[in-house]
Amino acid sequence: MENHLRVGVIGAGTMGAGIAQVAAQTGHPVVLYDTRNGAVEHALNALSGTLEKLVAKGKFTRPEADALLSRITPASTLDGLSGCGLTVEAIVEDLAIKKQLFAALEEATAPGTILASNTSSLAITAIASACKQPERVIGLHFFNPAPLMPLVEVVPGLLTSPTLPADCVELMRAWGKVPVICKDTPGFIVNRVARPFYGDSLRIFEEGIADMAGIDHALKSEGGFRMGPFELMDLIGNDINLAVTRSVWEAMFFDPRYKPSLTQQRQVESGRLGRKTGRGYFDHTDPASTAVPNMDPAFARSITERVLAMLINEAADALFLGVATKEDLDLAMIKGVNYPKGLLAWADEQGAAHWVEVLNALQADYGEDRYRASLLLRRMARAGAAFSAGGEEPGVN
């Protein structure tokens, strides 16, 4: 796929506009379409303002910025995307609406056009079921903000052409991205594996073990995470984070590992959505609300170990079920959510037996299947095996 490939982007919101910028920045002519009146014009004006700032900072020259902007043209109908070799959908996370769009998009584009979805939580196979040629449908999940975040999850559906994932990996690398291939399972890699970072932190708060600022402090100071779970949820938006959690929980047939939190639901119901509303778990008009608490380091480590055990367990289970390779699982968490290290590499530092012991203690204490240790993790613990030594083989015993 050369950079003369015309790229169509459907949806001129934050994600769509960002994807359009990435494609145009790499030299592709881009067609941007949105059904909302004025949405494309607004996106182009916002991009123009962003480019002005980047020129002022010396990140772009004036000719480079002008050329980038000139490569993005608006379309008033889907037919305006007829000459595109790749289209990327970035609209509302609603399966029925996406299926309707893909059926229409298939009719509006040439038979060889790649039809990609930026969905973060819906099944690519389900979206592709609306098409007569499901083999040309694939997931390309960018992370927000798309021009800055390096990770792209490349997600083939059950009927996706076998050669298409490798072609998309090559294209994403040409766009300066870090692609990982993952199976079409709920949450893909990042939104699946990261669920305990939020879910168990919320449980720790609900149990009165520590307050929100304390939990954030513990995971940053002892775990090395760039942001704590509560400040990160406030940045993402509590409505969005809850919706993803609920989506993964329901898609996993209500597995208790992904159960949503009433605390978060009440935040959403109250309108405290995070930074975008000025208040979420913290009051973002009052710096004192996120003040670093006094906390015994050993106590902070105990909180961190509990959350980390759940994260490692989730990564191990994803590996066992073939969601992605161990390299892509670790890479995704580093490049997609800025974890300080890959979870499987992290697991090796203390060994599988240690993490199984932590999880078994939690399960015995709570009596909940939520804390069950992954079969792979238990097998590796018995064998004294390490992920770095190829311990992903299910036959380890």
302 given a catalytic annotation = no
pLDDT computed for residue 61 by the predictor: 95
Tokens of 238: 């509590």
Q: What is the mean pLDDT of residues 210-224?
A: 96
Residue 275 pLDDT exceeds 70: yes
326: which residues sit within 8 A by CB, 6+ positions away?
A: 319, 344, 387, 392
Give 387 or 286, the one with higher predicted confidence.
387
Max Cα separation, the chain? 64
pLDDT of residue 291: 82
As beta bridge partners, residue 9 has 32, 88
Instruction: Indicate which residue of 28, 106, 117, 120 is catalytic.
Output: 120
Catalytic residue among 89, 153, 231, 392: 153
Beta bridge partners, 114, equal 86
The pLDDT of 72-89, averaged and rounded, is 96
Residues 326-341: what's their mean pLDDT?
A: 97
Check pLDDT > 70 for residue 392: no
Q: Work out the percent of the chain whose per-residue pLDDT is above 90.
A: 94
Task: Give φ, ψ of 156 to 5 degrees.
Answer: -75, 140
Chain mean pLDDT for the chain: 95
Residue 34 reports pLDDT greater than 60: yes
pLDDT number for residue 396: 39
* 354 assigned to active site: no
User: Of the listed 117, 118, 121, 191, which one is catalytic?
Assistant: 191
Query: Which spans in 71-163 are helix H?
Result: 95-108, 124-128
For the cut 70, the answer to whether the pLDDT of residue 350 exceeds it is: yes
Residues 131-140 have a mean pLDDT of: 98
82 is catalytic: no
Give the residue, 291 or 274, on which the prediction is more confident. Answer: 274
Two structure tokens written together for 42: 């607004």
165-207 pLDDT, tens per residue? 999 999 999 999 999 999 999 999 999 999 999 999 999 999 9
pLDDT bracket for residue 397 (50, 70, 90) = very low
Average pLDDT over residues 65-81: 96
Q: What is the mean pLDDT of residues 118-136?
A: 96
Task: Taking residues 85-98, report their average pLDDT.
Answer: 96
Confidence band of 2 (pLDDT split at 50, 70, 90): low
Residue from 117, 118, 121, 141 carrying the catalytic annotation: 141
Strand partners, 142: 152
Is residue 191 part of the annotated active site? The answer reads: yes
Tell me, what's the pLDDT at 236? 92
Q: Which domains does the chain have, with CATH numbers?
A: 7-184 (3.40.50.720), 191-295 (1.10.1040.50), 300-389 (1.10.1040.50)
The per-residue pLDDT for 269 is 97
Mean pLDDT across 88-96: 95
pLDDT at position 389 is 85
Residue 222 pLDDT > 60: yes
pLDDT tens track for 291-322: 888 899 999 999 999 999 999 999 999 999 99
394: confidence class by pLDDT, cuts 50, 70, 90 = very low
3-state secondary structure 259-299: CCCHHHHHHHHHCCCEHHHCECCCECCCHHHHCCCCCCHHH
pLDDT of residue 391: 44
Task: Identify which of 159, 109, 154, 93 has the alpha carbon closest to the alpha carbon of residue 7.
Answer: 109
